[in-house]
Structure 1
Amino acid sequence: MKNIVLVGFMGSGKSSTGRRLARKLGYDFIDTDYAIEEVTGLTVEQIFAKHGVKRFRGEEALLVSKLADKENLVIATGGGLVLNPQNIEKLKANGIFILLKASPETICKRVKNKRTRPLLARGNLKHKVTKLLEDRQDAYQMADYSVNTDHLDPDTIVHIIYQYLLERGVIVRNH
């Protein structure tokens, strides 16, 4: 079975939705940021601080190469993973891309107490979120389906994605 690849900006609901969706489908769940932390023994913030964004993106690309051949995964990607076209190409070969979208206002509410996120650590939060969303807008266009998560809880998002996957024949209903 194809993998389900959740993409979108930080705070859009990829991790919380991904865990629930994996449980519903009986798939394994992978959060790429946490997987990179496990492999490197460093937090995302530490990788950014000690080695820079380039090293982090390199770790991401390595992980994508490992995940691309696997099946029955729900993969919650780091927000910037889609910036590398090779990552998209590798994951698309055996994956359905679901974009979780949220407004800058919603994202700011969801991440305001998580200022450890390296790309949002300093400066005006809403300005940074808006700018990064604009920068990534084109990269998110490759998604097969998108869900606006602004006013939805994770269980509702899972239901919407599940229905889409059923309708597309990607999955067969569990009895």
Structure 2
Amino acid sequence: MKNIVLIGFMGTGKSTVGRLLARRLGRPFVDSDKKIEMWHGMTIKEMFAQHGEAYFRQCEQEAIARLARYRHAVIATGGGVVLLEENMFRLRQHGVIIALTAELDMILARTSRKDVRPLLNKGEREKTVRELLNGRIERYQQADCVVDTTKLSPPQVVEKIMDFLQQGGYLRGRYNSAPRRP
């Protein structure tokens, strides 16, 4: 069975939804940013500060090459993974790509903690987010499925993804939707 790969801008819920989805499907959850930090012995913030974005992107590319070979996993990627076509090619080989999106105001609210997101620690946050998002949105839209998380709770996002996976034949009836409460 294919991996389920979550892509999308920072603050769209990839890690939270990924953990819930993996639990629901009984699959391992992998966060690419956490793997990069583990494999390189430093945080992403430290990578940006000490070596710059180009170094981080190289580490990310190497991590994606490794993670793309996983099977049956739910993989949450960093927001910029779509910047390199090779990353997406590798992830698509053994995965179904699900993009999580959100409106600008929601992304700003969800990413408001200072010093956590290296790309947002310079200048005007709203302008930076808008520019980064505009440069990536077309690539996010190329996913097999796109879910807007703006007005949905993480469990609701999981339901939308489950519906897509079942309708697309990715689950082959083995997984049933969770019982809905009245």
CA distance in 2, matches of 1:133, 1:157: 20
Report the Cα offset of residue 94 of structure 1: 0.8
Deviations 1:152-175 (A, max 9, x none): 111000011011101111013336
Aligned position for 1:157: 157
CA distance in 2, matches of 1:70, 1:55: 24
CA distance in 1, matches of 2:111, 2:67: 27
CA distance in 1, matches of 2:116, 2:22: 27
Q: Secondary structure at the match of 1:5?
A: strand
Report the Cα offset of residue 114 of structure 1: 4.2
- The one-letter amino acid of 2:129's match is V
- Percent identity (aligned): 43
Structure 2-normalised TM-score? Answer: 0.93
Deviations 1:62-121 (A, max 9, x none): 111112222111110000011010000011011111010001100000011143211001
CA distance in 2, matches of 1:155, 1:3: 20
Unaligned runs of 5+ in 2: 177-182
- The one-letter amino acid of 2:69's match is D
Aligned position for 1:173: 174
Conserved 8 A contact 1:100-1:149: yes
Aligned position for 2:180: none
User: How many pairs were matched up?
Assistant: 175
Following TM superposition, the consecutive aligned residue runs of length 4 or more in structure 1 with deviations greater than 4 angstroms are: none
Conserved 8 A contact 1:166-1:173: no
Aligned position for 1:134: 134
Unaligned runs of 5+ in 1: none
